[in-house]
Every structure is written in C-alpha cells, then in structure tokens.
Amino acid sequence: EHIDRCLAKDAEVLEVCVQNAVQEKVDILEQGAKDGHSSFILNFGHTIGHAIEALSHFSLSHAEAVGIGMLIEMNVASSDAHDRIEALLTQLSMPIDFPPSMEVRDVWEVILSDKNVRSDGDVRIAVPSEIGANHILPMTKEQLLAICS
C-alpha cells in the first residue's frame, strides 16, 4: 500500500511499517510459545534462503536469498500468494530467480543441515497458502529439483 513511500525512505511510513512488523512478530512468537508451533511460520523462505545465501558466499544478502527462498517454497505449496509476493519483490528490485550458477543438489545438501530439519530427515517449510493463512508442509529433494531445474 505504501511501497512507493517506503522506497523513497519516508521516515514516517518506515517507522509505522517497522512498528507493525515488530508487533506482528511478537504476536506470532507469543502464540508459538502457547501452542508450540505457530512461530514456525517465521521461517517462511528461510529454509531454502539460508542455503542459497551460504552457497552464494554471501554475495546475495540475507533478504535477497530469503526472497528467492520464499518464491521457491511457495511453488512447492502451489500457493495463491506467489504472484503477489513475486510482484512485490520485483517492485523492490529484489532477485526472484534461482541463481543459475548454483546446483540444486548443493542447495539440498545445505538444507539438510538446517536447524529445522527433523531428526528423521524430514524437511519442513512454512508457507502461506494465501495472505494470512499459513501451512507447514514437507518438502522433498525431488520437489526442489523439479522447481529449480
């Protein structure tokens, strides 16, 4: 809604956006403390994003890598929110494509060392099925290969 003013670094709008984001995160963490799982949604994009960030040798910023991770994870879930988030990332001049210099198999190997991989090797991702509705889903190596290849 206020993306142009944020991009122009309008201090008033940025302050409100940051305050709202922090409050939303606090609310999610408090709910997660009660139910033991709601806070997992804060990992959205991070499972794949952390692997991409590391394999880029940090030439991609955390935000850029997580943005790419968000789009890939939404493809795993066939999320209706994909196009909206892709448009927003594009408007923010963020990369949206899997880095062509990277091997998907290498990304998978880094993912397997992620703190959110369960002891049985199950890789779970947190994905909005639509804006405001979230799901925790399994992700397989085959799904990642199909999406990124």
Mean pLDDT of the 128-149 span: 85
Q: What is the pLDDT of residue 4?
A: 87
CB atoms within 10 A of CB 147: 17
Mean pLDDT of the 70-76 span: 91
Q: Which tens digit of pLDDT belongs to each residue from 79-117?
A: 778 888 999 999 999 999 999 999 999 999 999 988 777
Cα dihedral 99/114/86/133 (nearest 10): 160
Q: What is the pLDDT of residue 149?
A: 78
Q: What is the pLDDT of residue 79?
A: 74
Mean pLDDT of the 26-49 span: 89
pLDDT band of residue 14 (cuts 50, 70, 90) is very high
- Show the CA angle centred on residue 63, arms to residues 68 and 143, nearest 5°: 25
The answer to whether the pTM exceeds 0.75 is yes
Q: What is the pLDDT of residue 38?
A: 82
